[in-house]
Structure 1
Amino acid sequence: MFLTFFLLLISIGAAFVIVPKLLHVDEVLIPEDLAGMEYSEVYEALTALGLTVEKETMLHEEIPEDHVVRTNPEGGRTVKVNSIITVYVSEGKEKIEMVEVTETDKEQARRTLIRLGFKEENIEEVPKESDSIENLIIEQLPLPGEKIVPEETVVILTYSIPMKFSLENLHGLTRLEAIERLNNLGLNIDVKEEYSDRIPEDHVIDQKPARETIVQKGTTVTVIVSLGPEPEPPPEPINTVIVAPVPLSPEDEMAGIEYPVIITYRDSNVSEHTLFVERNISKLTEFRVPVTINPGDKAEVIRYIAGEQYGDPIILTYEEALANQ
């Protein structure tokens, strides 16, 4: 009986010693200053302590993406091993989808981006030769739809500039051939004309810029086209003098008799006979009548003595006047 009671006491004492040890769970201290660290580093540190990590993401205006904002429980707290620690990780600032600015003018695209919060100094413009309209945005980075933070994002806008090429030789082409070729290249055309004894009419004499000059779409090319040989200048009017002698008989001259004389004329400037001079003479007198004769025309002088026409009209044709020059 006594032995039984003694064994019972020993069993009860052992229970008080062994059972607490079996029920005991270790505790660990959550490190402080986890905020701001990279999530991967925090994860390794907590799991090394025997803690279970659950990740939650959240927006944050200051802490960078994939860095820890806080933990729950907070750092500095003691928790049991295998406890669940929630780690709140920053997604960074709120993101928006990148807008599409291709197929718009580069100045308009820049204004659009600035209005959406992109920094002007973060907008880079890169020219690229293209058949597209000049200054049109043809490529962009980031691509449309990508998630970005406007004020932190560098945008690269590639815009179109005219393609450059070597100007071909237009010499000897017809006017229409030269115009068609330049139009097909997107070049502007300025046609000028010159006489040439060497290049046939309506063919290209020269071009500016010269052949093999590097030009781009929209450049103005001056094409000089032949008018053929320069024509002879048209004949000009001739200004000359018709000499109209009015003689008297020797007897009348000796007697000093005076006769009234009238001289009239017609030329290319005067269509009807017009009085040139009316006077008395007492001896042989030559009247010099100035006239103008156009090509194909003639001038005419008529003499009158005492009211009667003297002799035939004096006629001078253009050809005769030209031969007398």
Structure 2
Amino acid sequence: MEGKKLLNRYQIMELIGQGGMALVYKAKDTLLNRVVAVKVLKSEFNENEQFIKKFKRESQAAASLSHNNIVSVFDVGVEDNNHFIVMEYVEGDTLKEYIQKKGKLSWKETAYISKQIALALDHAHKNKIIHRDIKPHNILITEDLIPKVTDFGIARAITTSTITLVEETMGSVHYISPEQARGGFVDERSDLYSLGIVMFEMLTGRVPLDADNAISVAIKHIQEEIEFHEDDLDDIPESMEELVLKLIKKNPNDRYENAKDLIQDLVAVQNGEKVKNIKSRDKRTRILPGIKPVQKPKSVDADTKKSQNKSNNIYRKPAFWIMASAIAVVVIVGLIFVASIFKVKDVQVPKVEGMEMTEAISLIEEAGLNYEIEKRENHPNIPENHVISQNPASSTYIKESQTVKLTVSEGPREVEVPDVIGKFEVEGIQELENFNFVVKEINRQFNEEIEKDIIYDQNPMPGLVLKEGSEIILYVSKGKDTVIMEDYKGKTVEEAKAAIQAAGLQVGNITEVVSEQFDKGLIIDQNPKSNEEVPRNSVVTLTVSKGKLQTKTINIRIQDYLDIDLDDEEIPTVNLKVVLISQDNGSSVEYEKKHKADETVSVELEGFGVQYYQVEIDGKQFSPEIITF
């Protein structure tokens, strides 16, 4: 699939993930010049109508949602029988990978991440979509630590009969709600159960229920109660524990009713306040209709019976009915006449939210309505003397002269800027948002002394009194400025030098050695080694191959080096030594042995390129001679 261009627009770059039914590719949207993710149905399912429907259902469910914590769907299509979805590309890990890297998360980070997942679910549920497969594998964590829910592959619209086959509702078995495991009715509370299991895993680093096979795990979700181990609770507030345990109740009626209530309690836990929804909905009270007592019939005496019979005789006379009809006609005509005189018009309530007070009052009075300022309150975004809300809502029809109640802004409160220096980025942002400040910008820089992801400065400084909604700039440490070493083996010296300098490192000593494995001029070793993390500007030393040794034989006629006449004297014995000299003036003794002065000796030398050899006889050195290998 790499290299293919879908719809003449989406250029497939590389495979970045795969699941049971689809492959996910990184791609370039050539029309809008942006990177996207393209999810392509696996080829073996292209003729399977059930999988195609499931794939289309995912695109329809996700495309109907627009939220910062939900991965956006940009496009869907089919080309050459390839069914695909074009989605927002998110750079980062899945929540599962994030948990595995950190072991487990602090309760504060768990609350921060869970609140944003709950906001995504609240948005989906308000749009009548149940995800049905909430798990850490389906939550992406951006580089800015923003969670984004993805993979609506088994999502369904909420109806009064959202009951399907077990195999269709089955999400990942470790996170599945009991009702899903049974194949029963699922609603918003099923997603909240799965979120509770995810929160349990974030806090403890493990799934609460596990077994040798999927069926056993599903049965455990149906039958076994989930509890924290005592060791898990050392740093977790009691309110956080209760919140998670409420989410993972077996009976949906014992859980949170909706994501909004969960969000309220998460905010309370973060602020150290008392949670509101833990005990209020543990059980529902069913009110039965009252039963009236049975009364005995009263005895009727003779005089009473006579009176009743007399009354009944009056109702049977025609004159009574003629008079009653005449009176009824008069009353009805009178009521119609009075209604026509005093009829009140229906008036459409104008939209005044966000308007300045005088403008809003003028518009209300022009519509023939009265107004009442019900209350005034601070608001971080709406200016002073502007309408925050109205009751009844705009476009509602009410009777003329009725009253529209207004809530009016007193403008933002003035709040002291909290000190978030020294806190983790995620905690600092949360604290500022709790005070209704806006984090405008995050500047990340390397810092040799401050741990990664810790805030080391803020602007404006803490302690200043500013209005709610004011913008704050944070400065966050990227940790030490380090580089992960590449593997330079097999590269040429020039290629290795270029890569080292591009990584912000320095080239150190380069040593040449013989290598039977690498050709001449290629890197065979390095220091530091590949995949080591080193400070930027570190020195990298390289070892380069000289290539394989070459051999060459030289013939040395000893008498050519001696000033003697071999015919007149007895032939002497001499000590012959041959020294090989490299281009860097290094030397090595390659041959040393005693010979008669009239011998010619063959010596085999090993070396590279152009070198020198030097003959030494009985300690006397002769001029070096060139040898080419």
TM-score for both structures, normalised by structure 1:
0.35
Instruction: Give the structure with the higher percent helix.
Output: 2
Q: By percentage of residues, which structure has more strand? A: 1
- The answer to which structure, 1 or 2, has the higher relative contact order (CA under 8 A, 6+ apart) is 1
Could you say which structure has the larger radius of gyration? 1
